[in-house]
Each structure stands twice: as structure tokens, then as C-alpha cells.
Structure 1
Amino acid sequence: MRREILYRKIAKIIEDQILSETLRIGDKLPSIRSIQQIYGVSLNTAIQAFAELESKSLVESRPKSGYFVSKTSQRKLALPSVSKLISPEKGKNSEDLISSVFDILRDKSIRQFSLGIPDNKLLPIAKLNKGIIKAMRQLEGSGMDFEPAQGSTSLRRNIAKWSLIFDGSLTEDDIVTTTGTTNAIYQCLLATTQPGDTIATESPVYFGILQLAKSMGLHVIELPTHPLTGIEIDALKKVIHKIDVCCFTANFNNPLGSLVPDENKKEVVKLLTHHNIPLIDDDLFGNLFFSGTRPKPFKVFDEAGIVMWCGGVSKTVAPGYRVGWIAPGQFKDKIIRQKLVQTVTLPSLFQEVIADFMEHGGYDHHLRTLRHTLHTNCLKFQQAIEDYFPENTKISQPQGGFFLWLELDKRLDTAELYQTALSQKLSFAPGSMFSQNSNFNNCMRLNFALPWDDSLENDIKRLGSIVKQAL
């Protein structure tokens, strides 16, 4: 704990110097060894301090040269606003808009800033194809045999091994496989709610959560969410007596990209444990951190088994494989029974391909490359938006994942703007998709998991022009 406090104190001192322009863009920072000597701390603590600054895009490392104040340290555009508490009584139907966005996903002539998956060029498709052939040769019955309802043993073992990266203490027996992460969340909701119950989420929140809640007859309370630090705990405390289950994303939520600090994660889990309220821990983006170490999910702080940790590979490796999982805690037996009734078992082939990819280092290697690409893209997108969008645009500052959240002039309705953009072969996700009311009508989500080139930058410029013309 002491080391954690020290590295944050050091990072805060340097951050204040950058924000006050004592240190200016391009200035070289003292070396890690110098910081170690100046503050009398360990080498690891000094490294963590720089990682903290890098995660905020305040500094950048240059090979063999050290750390420098980054160009993005002096942001021209403000962060998006924090939403107000949204009660379940203010319902809104955005199903048609969501369907419209999904209907054009396969149209290659349209620039898909609306997509919620990485571009195929960023995925290890050739390696996975080889893995399919290998799995077919090695699987008993070439993948035709049934597997246990709990899921592939080798995949569950590799997920448990992977959890060691974030101090997880999971075993293969703690995990149940699912057909993607959305299905994992559905299984958790099915195990913990009944029609008429209330679920608490972030706001804005991934529209798939809202769709699930509606289909299951659940009410939704959307909690104010800070674009950097996630849900506001005081707001959660105010409505805790109304809530039956929570669904939060600790690490890089969709669409804000916020990262909940560890002390907040602990407090949320402690609060919900005290009230015996289950927590669905949507950790789909947790492996896509830009710098530092892999952030911990809520599950790490769970001692009572109320946290259901959900993950998958659709945002990192293979969207179409639909391989996901849950560590359901005290709800494991119920979820296995649900899965047995619904599907009996899942296809084993893709599970084995992912297990093999994880076991032999392919997953780790791919993630390192992907994270670097996404971080670079994020900075380039932010710069392009500052250059080409109106000056009163507000933009998120994600520390991981691959979404940017833009808040535009209040006079604009991005659902209407979407139609104009679509006519010019540009697509984005309108803000009203991410709430059950009209809180985000002037917002949009952009996917930056796309190969960067001049054409892409020009398309951002064209989208910015559409926004300017609408004003």
C-alpha cells in the first residue's frame, strides 16, 4: 500500500508541473534512476510513477532517449460531462436506431466508426486458422463429441492461469464458458433476477445491457459515471435500497473508457457485499490497457462470492468465435444448470483454438502488439478530433479499450446527424443508444480499432465537417 501511495504522489507532482506548464510539451523528464534517487524510492516505484503518467497520456517514452512531455498533455478539448442519476421511470426505445447501425456492418463501402470490434487487419487470423486445423486433429472425434456443460477444461484452465496476471486466484473449476460475454452477462442476470427487479449500471452504458434488461422485464437505474474514474459511489449509496443486482465495468467501460481506481473497486465490492447485492463484473476490455500493468477486476476484491467475473475474446482476438466465460462465485451451480437446459453444451472447436492460443504464448504476444496499436490510434484520433471538430467538442480520455466518447454542442441530435453521415458513407454510434433517456442525444461513440492511414484521417475530417455544418 505504501509503495502504491508513493508512486501516485510522485506522479501527481510531475503531473502538476505539466499542467501548470512548468514542464512544457517536448521537455525531457528526469530519468527513472534520477527519480529513484530524488525521492528515495525503489526502482519499481519510480517505474510505476512514469507508467501512471503515461496512462494519462501526459508523457511519452522514446527508445534510448527517456520520457518526454507528450503533445497530448495540453488538451484543447474538455472531458465529457458526468451524467445525472437516471431512474427507471424515464424509459426510451432506441431499438430502431440500434438495428439501423447493425444493418450496415457488412457494407465495406462505409467507414465503420460505429463498429464495436477491431478491424480484421488487427486480428491474428492466420494464426487462428492454423489453430483450427491443429484442434481438429487433436480433439477426440475431431470436435464432434459433447463436452461437459461447464465448458472446455483446457480453456477454463488457461483462463485461470491468465488470471494470475491481475492477482486472480481462480481455478479451472471456478469458471463456466459461454457463447460470448453478452451471453455471460445474460446468464448472470438470469441467475440473480426475476421480472420487475432493478439493475444498476453506468451511464452511459453499453446498449446491449439495456436490451438484455428490457427483454427480461428488468428496470434500470443509470448511475452518474465520471469519464476517467467510473461510477460515482455516493450515487450508488443513495439508491442501494432499490437495487437487486449491479452490472459495472471496472476497466475501460463501453463507451466512456473509464478506469475505476482500485480503492473504489474495493469500496464497491464491500458495499454490495454488506447489502448482499450481486455484482456482474464486465471485464471484456480489461486486457486492452495502454500502459502500466493489467488492471484488476472487481472479482479480485470479492471474498463472499457475490461478484460474477465475465470476459471473452470478441474484443481482442476473434469476434466471430463467440468464446466467453464467467467466474460466477456462489452462483456457479445455478448457471451451469441454466446452460445445460438452454444449450446442453457449446461447440468445442473454437474453445480449443483459443485455449491453445493462450497456452503457447500467442495471446500474450498478440495483446502486446494490439495494445500498442490501440494506444497510438487513440492519440491520433484525439488529435484529429481537436483539429477537425468544433472547438466546444468534449472528448473522453480512455486509458484502455478502443472507444472515444464525444459530447457535441447541445443543439445537435446525433441520431439525425447519423443519417447525414451515412449518406456520405460514414457511420458512428449515436449517443442515444447508450441510455434509456435523452441524456446523450448530442453525443457519439467512435471506434478507433482501425488501421490508421491518410484515408482514415480524411474520414475523421469529413465527419468533423458534417458536425460543423449541422451547427
Structure 2
Amino acid sequence: MKRYEKYADDIAELIRSGVLGPGARVPSVRYASQAHGISPSTVFQAYYLLERRGLIRARPRSGYFVNPSVLVQPAQTPREPQVSESTEVDVSELVFSVLDSIKDPNTVPFGSAFPSPLLFPLQRLSRSLASASRDMDPRMVVTDMSPGHPQLRRQIALRYMTSGLMLPMEELLITNGALEALNLCLQAVTEPGDLVAIEAPAFYACLQVLERLKLKAVEIPVHTHDGIDLGILAQTLERYPVKAVWCMTSFQNPSGALMPEARKRELVELLREHQVPLIEDDVYAELYYGPHAPKPAKAFDTDGLVMHCGSFAKSLAPGYRIGWVAAGRYAQKIERLKLMTSLCASMPAQAAIADYLEHGGYDRHLRKLRYALEDQQRAMLAAIGRYFPAQTRVSQPVGGYFLWLELPDSVDSLQVFKVALAQGISIAPGPIFSPTQRFANCIRLNYGSPWNDAAEKAMETLGRIVRSMLGN
């Protein structure tokens, strides 16, 4: 990272954390140059970058100032959280209706689960695919069938190591996307009829997996600032025979919540006391906006109870369907389950990603991707402030690409979904994120596509639809 980028990220973190509030003056060029031992031109480059990202703006003869915050209220934590009853899961029909809504390329994809493919280095990846396929040892297709491409596993292990987490290669298994990894993890530790603690709201794919495996769910509230409610989880573990906990500890889908490291450590310790495994869905881990990557709960695991699942679909290679699991004590069982189901993930796709990670400039791509997503979040928040009712509350995550909106109580998000879709706009209504179809007045919006006039107009239309339902 260049010096001006490093200084820009430091200032951005001060803004993001609230140290430099809306309208605050950022350090003058002269002061910053002297205090940090960098040249004035480096400071100017940093401030130009922050201007382009919309974080600061210049005032003639006055210096640089933090842009005013968007006038939206932060999303609230769940009201009166309490231990919920277990429930059967049956949400697939509702989920499929939402997924069908984004198939039309002319639909504004606010309801999508993926960022725009325009943000990814697909041409560079195709060169890696061609090169890796040409040089691949044909015997590798058979000899490395189950655990995965050795160079890809090595590259993943190296990325764990740079974040301070030393994992043996034997613990890593390459899968057909993170969803297969998550499926395998659940199958390794549950039987039909067992109870799994999940988040509320939870990613709808989690609910579909439980439905398919005939598992029951108990919902644990998620707070938009610090993730799953550990107090309620502790009570649930005392009350019910929970066989596994499935949660997203970083940039939770749909809320965007990031668990602080201290709470991740507390979560792992709580589950260690009860000897309950944690399935950690961490597919958004690389999409953080600050200067430092958040540690996963896996970093605090000493008993091998945490199965850490990741993917390249959200950060590098959508469509390649390459994910992985660091499976702890369950590695051998999960490997055998994979052999019994899908044998192995695509070896050419694995080889291509391995080549890209080694030679393609992955970290450079990630920096550009994070800047783009943060800019797009800022644009969507501003549009919510302009067009939605003043009572609207919205999460303001520091990573990922989703916003969770709590609309006025009288608004039915399923009705918003239907009316918006008729006007060419897809959203994700709140009920698809709960086995009991709660969150009727909530919606999830995806800001993972480059902002343009169509997106702005779609937000204006959505705001008008929501306002029309007030009091109905």
C-alpha cells in the first residue's frame, strides 16, 4: 500500500469510528506532514482520494472537512429479546419467489445476494484459468480429488497465517462454494429432528439448508452493532439440546452486524463450556472497510469446535463456485461426507484461483473492491435519507454490501416487494430471513452494484412505495 493510501485509510477510520465527526476539520496539510513525517504532496494525494470516496470536502482557504452524515437513524436492536421456542422450517417457496425476481437483467437487483460481476477481475481470472488448465498435471484430477488443489489450500492457509491464525493444511477442505461447506458441517454434527441455534434475522440459505435436512431451528436475536445476543444464546443452551450454532460473526447477512473480537472470544468460550460446535459462515470476511481485517471466531478456538467456512464468490470469483472449510476436529468426517456426495470441486476452477492468488494481485483488487462498496453504501444511505420516511431505521455496517431497513410498523415488506417488482425493482423482504416469517416491516437492500441514475431512480420509487403504505 502506498503511503498516501495508508494515511487516507487512517483518516477514514477516524471518520468511521466517530473520532472525526460530521463537519469536523481534518488535520491541515502542514500539520499532517509534520506529525506523520510525510511530504505535503503525499497528504494532498490522500485528501484527494478521500474526496473521491466522498468522505471529506475542501472549503476554499479553510481546509478539508468531514462530509455531513446521512440523516438516517441506526437500526435498532430487537425489542425485548427473549428465548424463543424451536420451530420447523418452511420458507423455500417464499425464498424462491424472491430469487426468481432477480433473473430479469432489466430488474434493479437490490434483492440480489451477490455484488455486481463488474466489480471483479474476470478477464484476469480467465487468463489464470487458461494458464492453470494448460499446466495442470492430469493425475491431479484424481489424486487430489477430496481435500482439494494443494496450491489453493496452501494459499488459503497463508491468508489465515497473515491474519494471525495458524492452521494445518489437513484441516482445510475445498468445496463447491461456501454453501456446500455449510451443508457438510451441519450433516457432520446433526441428525434429522435435531435443534440448531440460528440468528434472527438469518440468511435465508441457512433456513433452506435446515429445511432440507429436516432440522429444527431456535432463533437468537442479532443486534445490528455487535451481532448475536450471547445472553439469549446462553439461556437457550441451558434450556434446549442444541446440537450446533450457525452464525455469521462478520458483516452478518442481512443485518451487516460485526461482532467485536471480545464477543467472538466469549462466544467460542460459551460453546466450549457446552461442547456445542460453531458453524461460522464468514463469506464476507474480506469485505471490511477499515484498515484491519476482523478476526474470525475461529481465531479463539482451542478445542477444534469451530468450523470456519469461506468462499471466493463474494470477493473474487462469482460463478467459479469455490469455497472451503477449516473444519477443526470434524475435518475427516466432513471430507468423507464430501466424497459420498460431490467427490470434489472443479479442479480447473481451483487451479485458476490458486494461480490468481499467487500472481494476480488479490490484495490490490480487494482494496479497490472495498473502496467501491463503501462508496456505493454511502450513495444508498444518502438516497434513503432523501426518499424514505423519517421513521425509517437502517443499519450502517463497516463491511459487506447489505443494508437492513426497519420501516414504520404499518408497512408490509411483502407488499413492498410485490409493488416494487412490478416496477422493475427487486428487494429482499424481511420474512424470508426467519423460519417464523418475522420482520414483516423490514427489508434488505443490496448496494453491491455501481451506483448510477437507474439505482437513484429506483430508490426514489421505493421510497414513494413505502410512504404510500404509511397508515394502511
Same fold, TM-score > 0.5, yes or no = yes
Runs (4+) off by over 3 Å: 14-18, 29-35, 59-63, 65-70, 83-86, 88-93, 142-146
Is 1:136–1:142's contact at 8 Å kept on the other side of the alignment? no
Is 1:28–1:69's contact at 8 Å kept on the other side of the alignment? yes
1:414 equivalent in alignment to 2:429: no
- Could you tell me which residue of structure 2 aligns to residue 4 of structure 1? none
1:302-317 counterparts in 2 under 5 A?
A: 302-317=301-316
**Rounded Cα–Cα distance in structure 1 between residues aligned with 2:141 and 2:174:** 18
Deviation at 1:446, TM superposition (A): 0.6
Is 2:428–2:443's contact at 8 Å kept on the other side of the alignment? yes
Q: Is the alpha carbon distance of 1:68 and 1:267 closer, same or farther for their aligned partners in structure 2, counting shifts above 3 Å?
A: farther
Deviation at 1:85, TM superposition (A): 3.9
TM-score normalised per structure 1: 0.86
**Rounded Cα–Cα distance in structure 1 between residues aligned with 2:331 and 2:372:** 36
Q: 2:154 aligns with which of 153, 157, 167?
A: 157
1:210 equivalent in alignment to 2:223: no
**Rounded Cα–Cα distance in structure 1 between residues aligned with 2:273 and 2:347:** 39
**Rounded Cα–Cα distance in structure 2 between residues aligned with 1:252 and 1:464:** 25
Is 2:133–2:348's contact at 8 Å kept on the other side of the alignment? yes
- Could you tell me which residue of structure 2 aligns to residue 375 of structure 1? 374
1:407-452 CA-to-partner distances (Å, cap 9, x unmatched) read 1111121112211111101110110000112420111111100011
| Matched AA of 2:262 | E
1:180-199 counterparts in 2 under 5 A?
A: 180-199=177-196
**Rounded Cα–Cα distance in structure 1 between residues aligned with 2:162 and 2:68:** 31
| Matched AA of 1:413 | D
Is 1:156–1:172's contact at 8 Å kept on the other side of the alignment? yes
TM-score normalised per structure 2: 0.86
Deviation at 1:344, TM superposition (A): 2.4
1:95-114 counterparts in 2 under 5 A?
A: 95-114=92-111
**Rounded Cα–Cα distance in structure 1 between residues aligned with 2:157 and 2:30:** 36
**3-state SS in 1 of match to 2:220:** strand
**Rounded Cα–Cα distance in structure 1 between residues aligned with 2:380 and 2:18:** 23
1:141 equivalent in alignment to 2:141: no
Is 1:280–1:307's contact at 8 Å kept on the other side of the alignment? yes
- Could you tell me which residue of structure 2 aligns to residue 324 of structure 1? 323
**Rounded Cα–Cα distance in structure 2 between residues aligned with 1:340 and 1:98:** 29
Is 1:60–1:67's contact at 8 Å kept on the other side of the alignment? no
Q: 2:164 aligns with which of 147, 164, 167?
A: 167
**Rounded Cα–Cα distance in structure 2 between residues aligned with 1:183 and 1:234:** 30
Deviation at 1:173, TM superposition (A): 2.2
**3-state SS in 2 of match to 1:137:** helix
**3-state SS in 1 of match to 2:251:** coil
1:379-418 CA-to-partner distances (Å, cap 9, x unmatched) read 1101101100111111011110000011111112111221
- Could you tell me which residue of structure 1 aligns to residue 357 of structure 2? 358
Deviation at 1:284, TM superposition (A): 0.4
Unaligned ranges ≥5, structure 1: 1-6, 19-24, 44-58
Q: 1:82 aligns with which of 72, 78, 90?
A: 78
**Rounded Cα–Cα distance in structure 1 between residues aligned with 2:301 and 2:57:** 39
**Rounded Cα–Cα distance in structure 1 between residues aligned with 2:225 and 2:382:** 18
**3-state SS in 1 of match to 2:354:** helix
**Rounded Cα–Cα distance in structure 2 between residues aligned with 1:129 and 1:432:** 39
Q: Is the alpha carbon distance of 1:148 and 1:384 closer, same or farther for their aligned partners in structure 2, counting shifts above 3 Å?
A: same
Unaligned ranges ≥5, structure 2: 1-9, 39-53
**3-state SS in 1 of match to 2:138:** helix
1:230 equivalent in alignment to 2:227: yes
| Matched AA of 1:69 | V
| Matched AA of 1:411 | S
Is 1:374–1:449's contact at 8 Å kept on the other side of the alignment? yes
- Could you tell me which residue of structure 2 aligns to residue 461 of structure 1? 460
| Matched AA of 1:260 | M
**3-state SS in 2 of match to 1:200:** strand
Q: Is the alpha carbon distance of 1:27 and 1:176 closer, same or farther for their aligned partners in structure 2, counting shifts above 3 Å?
A: same
Number of matched residues? Answer: 437
Is 2:271–2:277's contact at 8 Å kept on the other side of the alignment? yes
| Matched AA of 2:371 | H
1:271 equivalent in alignment to 2:270: yes
Is 1:163–1:170's contact at 8 Å kept on the other side of the alignment? yes
**Rounded Cα–Cα distance in structure 1 between residues aligned with 2:202 and 2:392:** 20
Question: Could you say what the CA RMSD is over the residues aligned between the two structures, in angstroms?
Answer: 2.9
1:315-369 CA-to-partner distances (Å, cap 9, x unmatched) read 1122211100000000001011111111222220101111111112432121111
Deviation at 1:144, TM superposition (A): 5.5
**Rounded Cα–Cα distance in structure 2 between residues aligned with 1:286 and 1:33:** 36
| Matched AA of 1:112 | P
Q: 2:122 aligns with which of 110, 122, 125?
A: 125
Deviation at 1:178, TM superposition (A): 0.7
- Could you tell me which residue of structure 2 aligns to residue 285 of structure 1? 284
**3-state SS in 2 of match to 1:163:** helix
**Rounded Cα–Cα distance in structure 2 between residues aligned with 1:183 and 1:418:** 29
